[in-house]
Structure 1
Amino acid sequence: MRQKLSAALSVATKIREQFFPTASAFLLAGSVVRDEATAYSDLDLVVVFENVENARRQSFVFDGWPVEAFIHDAQTLEYFFREVDRLSGVPSLPNMVSEGIELPAETETGSLIKSLARRVLEEGPIPWGQKERENSRYAISNMVDDIREPRNSDELRIVVSGLYAALANHFLRSQSQWSAKGKSIPRRLMGVDPEFHQSVTDAFEAAFIKEDTDPVIRLCERVLERDGGFLFEGYTREAPKEWRMPEP
Structure 2
Amino acid sequence: MTDLEAASAQAARLVAEMFPEALGAVLGGSAAQGRATASSDLDIGVLLPDSAGSGRRVVRHEGRLVELFLNAVGDVPGFFAWDRARRRATVVFVYAEGVTLTDPSGQLADTRRLAEEIVALGPPPLTADQWRHGRYVLTCYLDDLADASPASRHEQLIVADHVLREAAELVTAHHGAWSGIGKWLPRRLVAADPELGNALLDGYLAVAERADPVPLAAAAQEVLEGVGGPLREGYAHRWQPFGADGT
Same fold, judged at TM 0.5 (above): yes
- The residue aligned with 1:127 is 125
Aligned-partner Cα distance in 1 for 2:51–2:163: 39
1:146 aligns with 2:147: no
Structure 1 residue 105, shift from structure 2 partner = 5.3
| Change beyond 3 A, Cα 1:73–1:241 | closer
Counterpart of 2:106, as a letter, is E
Native 8 Å contact 2:21 2:48 kept in 1 = yes
What does 1:22-33 correspond to in 2, within 5 Å? 22-33=21-32
Structure 1 residue 197, shift from structure 2 partner = 2.6
- The residue aligned with 1:16 is 15
Aligned-partner Cα distance in 2 for 1:191–1:216: 19
* Structure 2 residues not aligned, in runs of 5+: none
Structure 1 residue 107, shift from structure 2 partner = 4.6
Aligned-partner Cα distance in 2 for 1:226–1:193: 12
Q: 87, 91, 95: which one pairs with 1:93? A: 91
SS at match of 1:57: strand
Counterpart of 1:108, as a letter, is G
- The residue aligned with 1:155 is 155
Native 8 Å contact 1:48 1:73 kept in 2 = yes
SS at match of 2:197: helix
Structure 1 residue 230, shift from structure 2 partner = 1.2
| Change beyond 3 A, Cα 1:33–1:12 | same
- The residue aligned with 2:75 is 76
| Change beyond 3 A, Cα 1:164–1:52 | farther
Counterpart of 1:158, as a letter, is I
Native 8 Å contact 1:127 1:176 kept in 2 = yes
SS at match of 1:103: strand
Structure 1 residue 155, shift from structure 2 partner = 0.3
Structure 1 residue 91, shift from structure 2 partner = 1.6
| Change beyond 3 A, Cα 1:193–1:106 | farther
Native 8 Å contact 1:52 1:72 kept in 2 = no
Native 8 Å contact 2:164 2:201 kept in 1 = no
- Does 192-201 or 176-185 show the bigger shift? 192-201
Counterpart of 1:124, as a letter, is G
Counterpart of 1:162, as a letter, is H
TM-score normalised to the size of structure 2? 0.91
- Does 142-151 or 191-200 show the bigger shift? 191-200
- The residue aligned with 1:4 is 3
What does 1:140-219 correspond to in 2, within 5 Å? 140-151=138-149, 152-219=152-219
Structure 1 residue 106, shift from structure 2 partner = 6.7
- Does 110-119 or 217-226 show the bigger shift? 217-226
Aligned-partner Cα distance in 1 for 2:242–2:32: 46
Aligned-partner Cα distance in 2 for 1:162–1:75: 38
- Does 39-48 or 190-199 show the bigger shift? 190-199
Q: Which string of whole-angstrom CA distances, capped at 9 and with x for unpartnered residues, describes residues 79-134 of structure 1?
A: 1211x222111121111001111124575111101110011111111111110011
